[in-house]
A and B are shown apart, each in its own frame.
Chain A
Amino acid sequence: MIEKILATVFFPGAIFILAVSLFYEWVDRKLYARFQNRVGPHLAGPFGLFQPIADLIKLLSKEDIVPMATDRFLFTLTPILAPALILFACMFLPVAGPSGIISFEGDLIAVIALLSIYTITVYLAGEGSNNRFASVGAVRAAVQLLGYEIPLTLSLLSVALAAGSLSIRGIVEAQAERGLWFIAGIQAIGFAIFIIASQAEMERIPFDIPEAEQEIVAGWEVEYSGKRLALFRLSKDLELFLLSGLGAAVFLGGPIGPVIPGLEPMLYTIYFILKSIIVLAIFTLVRALFARLRIDQMVSFSWRYLMPPAMILIILTEVIM
């Protein structure tokens, strides 16, 4: 029991996940900067490693402003709910072994559901702040959900079909059994769909439509400042960790790899982090290569170019199995 609680709180639980996700933000920013021939964060700590933490602490220490016209309940609830939801979803990730802290048959669906609830939280956060830009951003977030959610789900489900299991543990173990990652094979299409749809889920270029800075200032988070904004930022980092980790677990074999007996948990963690950083690098590269689409273009793009391959992939997987 104690062990379980310790695992949930420290390793590979909340504290570990928070630290790693802040590190992922650093990797993302640094890589993005390097793609653009810039320096990136370089002041706080070696190579600016502590910049995300510094930013977080700075935001947390700022004055807490609640504008008069906001819905106070939503304005307080959503910044707490958003990181909590994603942190909960991160518990399903197989960080230190083939299964996460929580694992049951169907937990893949649970993760997808949590991601959708997160988007609804975003919508509520935008509408709750009662600002014109925030409303536009919130509506965009909701419309965008219609675009990417189904391809994302289908791409993950086709892997589940191939593995014959709806749990992340089952998928990881199926890859270990086959001795081959799912990305090698037709699931590569699923991986591509997963990357693109995740980009939309995380609201990053080319799908950073709900918070398009140049159009609607900051979209749904325009009214949030101080610690509320810090929590939203944190949930973004957690989402980065969650999705790159999910990609690594589902398509790149998760934490499984050659192990030295006795050192399994450590090596598993290292493998998992390395693999998910590869996924993260792809996310960052995609972010560096495109312009932002318009919301109608985004939805029509995902129904035209993401849905059909995803459907065909499901059918193909079913036929091959």
Chain B
Amino acid sequence: MKVPGRLVAEALKSLFRRRATILYPYRELDKVHLPEGFRGRIEFDRSKCIGCQLCFRVCPAKAIEIVDDEKGKRPIFYIYRCIYCAQCAEVCPTKAISMSKIFENIALRKEDMVVR
């Protein structure tokens, strides 16, 4: 059966329904819900790191660099290259690497996009 404009009821209904859009960057920041286990910006705990370099070796985006500091070898994470696959967090034997819920990874300076 051809009924032109069958959507009219739905369209008129949505006039009075709450809009589906979240005005995210301007208002309603509290409406952004992130589930547990969301893969956001990498967080790194230096005290747990044993310098095994596994994270460096698995990183598909080559976002991790190994440097020496006073305690030995340690990784540096370049977030602007990170693809948020969390393989480094998964492979880390001491769980020194974890994924936070921070997803707004925008910075004006390059140094802000580096996790040390």
Contacts and interface: CB of A to CB of B under 8 A. Distances in A.
Interface string B86-115: 000000000000000000000000000000
Contact of B8 (A36, A38, A42, A289): A289
B67 interface: no
B17 to A, nearest CB: 6
B4 A38 contact: no
A37 B7 CA distance: 13
B19 A38 contact: yes
A39 B17 contact: no
Interface in B8-43: 8, 11-12, 14-15, 17, 19-21, 23, 26
B11 A285 contact: yes
A290 B7 CA distance: 9
A35 interface: yes
A39 B23 contact: yes
Interface in A226-247: none
Contacts of B14: 34-37
Contacts of B11: 35-36, 285, 288-289
A65 B13 CA distance: 44
The 8 closest A-B CB pairs, nearest first, are A289-B5, A35-B11, A37-B14, A37-B20, A39-B21, A34-B15, A288-B11, A289-B7
Contacts of B5: 286, 289-290
Interface in A6-56: 31, 33-39, 42-43
Interface of A: 31, 33-39, 42-43, 285-286, 288-290
A42 B20 contact: no
Interface string B43-55: 0000000000000
Interface residues of B, number: 14
A290 B4 contact: yes
A283 to B, nearest CB: 13
A42 B23 contact: yes
A43 B26 contact: yes
**Which residue, A37, A39, A288, has most C-beta atoms of chain B within 10 A?**
A37
A287 to B, nearest CB: 10
B17 A37 contact: yes
A285 to B, nearest CB: 7
20 contacts: A33-B19, A34-B14, A35-B11, A35-B15, A36-B11, A36-B14, A37-B17, A37-B20, A38-B20, A39-B19, A39-B21, A39-B23, A285-B8, A286-B5, A288-B7, A288-B11, A289-B4, A289-B7, A289-B11, A290-B4
A33 B26 CA distance: 18
Nearest to B22: A39
Nearest to B20: A37
A262 B26 CA distance: 46
A199 to B, nearest CB: 12
A33 to B, nearest CB: 8
B19 A37 contact: yes
A274 B18 CA distance: 25
Contacts of A285: 8, 11-12
Nearest to A288: B11
A39 B21 CA distance: 6
A34 B19 contact: yes
